[in-house]
Chain A
Amino acid sequence: MENNEEKIALHLENVTMQFGGVVSVNNLSLDVPEHKIIALIGPNGAGKTTAFNCITGVYQPTNGLIEFMGEPMVRSHPVGKAEKGYKGQNADKYANEPILAPTPDRITALGIARTFQNIRLWSSMTVFENVLIAKHMRAKQNVFSAIFRGNLAEEKRMREETMALLCEQGLDTYKNEIATSLPYGLQRRLEIARALATEPKLLLLDEPAAGMNPQETLELAEFVQEIREKYNLTIFLIEHHMDLVMNISDYIYVIDFGSEIAEGEPEAVQSNQKVIEAYLGVSEESA
């Protein structure tokens, strides 16, 4: 993305995540411009979810810099044991700068929300509560006003907004069902609704179409574009389903074994030889 006019929402620079001797994400650099839908694709085990986990603070990357809305959000360089065993590049680049490693909730507070590959709804709670809880972070209250009901208006506002969100997502009829009793597709939708309840600027979708049939995938594609418009979102997604990715992405990054192997517009990526090899394997002759 060499277009300098658009504002970059999320910027990754030399992000490397190493577990012991395994380099899961290797020197990944990418840009997610505002109001675009960007996809990160790659075969199983390529390190996509690990990259997401680095962005959302679940893991602290071994090395690299992540900026959100132009501000450094995560910055790391190998220390201690990792210093000796570090296999990535550019370790010196950030060595003199302070490490930034915010916890996931801080990152969510900045305006990044996510869904999970293996849906993680709160299983003992209703659909309504699942979304309502996500409103907790932005609620203007403290624990005393919560106990003594000092701010009933705030609670009322949270409930009303939750209801409105559920209506929009067509989940209002299920509001009193236990979240995990919903059909799979609706659970995915609920996870997105829950993420939206945190009022994000950037939405990270981890394989949103996993386990969906083609019809559902098509609906999902429309839905993702719809919420982008409605909530003025930037969307960064990981996906296996090529239909979905090619259909809605503005730009695609392809990684394999943790490293980027290609990037470009959907059509360009589709015909990229390296990408085809990564997905289909390399035949004897061409290798």
Chain B
Amino acid sequence: MEYIISVLLSGVSVGGQYALIAIGYTLVYGILRLINFAHGDVFMVAGLMGIYLAAVLPITLSLPLVIILTVLLGFAIERVAYKPLREAPRMSVMISAIGVSYLLQNTATYVTGGQPMTYPTIPFLSGTVDVAGTQTKWVVIITPILVLALVFALTQLINRTKVGMAMRAVSKDFETSRLMGIKINSVISVTFIIGSALAGIGSILFFTNYPAITPMSGAMPGLKAFVAAVFGGIGSIPGAVIGAFIIGIAETIIKGLPSSWDVSVFSDAFTFALLIIILVFKPQGLFGEAATDKV
């Protein structure tokens, strides 16, 4: 029983961390129809920045700074690598995203010398707490609560504010929105800013729970978060969050299965199997809208 609780707890927490990344994917895909392959690497860079900043600044300063710098990074990537390709075929933008991902990974290898880096201990998050008889870190408890709060704030932003309305309009019809005088570029920038900020927060929560960061640390969580977004129905924020929780929980369950079965290698593969199943049977995801092509 205690074992089940601890697996579920960490599943929910991992899911919450994926959710924060997944929202970045789903927002960008909703507006640009782009799989932002670099998003996972932005998340990794945020983790590295956390390490380097915490080495010179107190935690209370470095954490907000991590989020601000991640936002700047996301904004800069969009301006430099995606904006010039607005009129180009979708494949070119996706290739550009892969290029950015490659650049971020290689730069991270260069800066860190390829060594795994240890994430600083954040006093509050790393402390342990006793839940129903199981010892767990505070971050495990805080993550889902924080995720739900952030998602609530985000849906308010999208449903209640003017910029949120613009975002919804652009994701429905890019061209018409432009004709209606919506400043496409600023809407896209806002999208990237929100996505990166959430990835920054996600990196703090995620890496607190993990022993080390390598330049490849962002790739797999990034892909999984994208799968979560597709699973929930790309473009839908609640969908992405639910998808992320499902994937996080499934993954920890697989990792927690008896080691004699030796199925832990499949914890990543399972996510992709789930992706393929959903794409084949319900391509629009759990909460997505079906689209028809005009001939």
Contact = CB atoms under 8 A, between A and B. Distances in A.
B295 A19 contact: no
Contacts of B259: none
A53 B294 CA distance: 10
B292 A53 contact: no
> Which size bracket describes the interface of B in this complex?
under 10
B91 to A, nearest CB: 14
A58 B292 contact: no
A58 B292 CA distance: 11
Contacts of A53: 295
Interface string A17-61: 001000000000000000000000000000001000100001000
A232 B292 CA distance: 36
A112 to B, nearest CB: 15
Contacts, number: 5
A79 to B, nearest CB: 16
B291 to A, nearest CB: 12
A116 B295 CA distance: 8
Contacts of B292: 19
A19 B295 CA distance: 14
A149 B64 CA distance: 66
Contacts of A116: 295
A137 B261 CA distance: 51
Interface in B269-295: 292, 295
B89 to A, nearest CB: 12
Nearest to A116: B295
A49 B295 CA distance: 9
A19 B293 CA distance: 12
A224 B164 CA distance: 53
Contacts of B295: 49, 53, 58, 116
A256 B292 CA distance: 23
B46 to A, nearest CB: 41
Contacts of A49: 295
Interface string A153-193: 00000000000000000000000000000000000000000
B88 to A, nearest CB: 15
Nearest to B295: A58
Nearest to A50: B295
B208 to A, nearest CB: 46
Nearest to A56: B295
A49 B294 CA distance: 10
Interface string A57-76: 01000000000000000000
Interface in B210-237: none
Contacts of A58: 295
A138 to B, nearest CB: 23
Nearest to A52: B295
Interface in B24-68: none
A140 to B, nearest CB: 30
Interface in B226-254: none
A47 to B, nearest CB: 13
Nearest to A49: B295
A194 to B, nearest CB: 16
Interface of B: 292, 295
- 5 closest residue pairs by CB, A with B: A58-B295, A53-B295, A19-B292, A116-B295, A49-B295
5 contacts: A19-B292, A49-B295, A53-B295, A58-B295, A116-B295
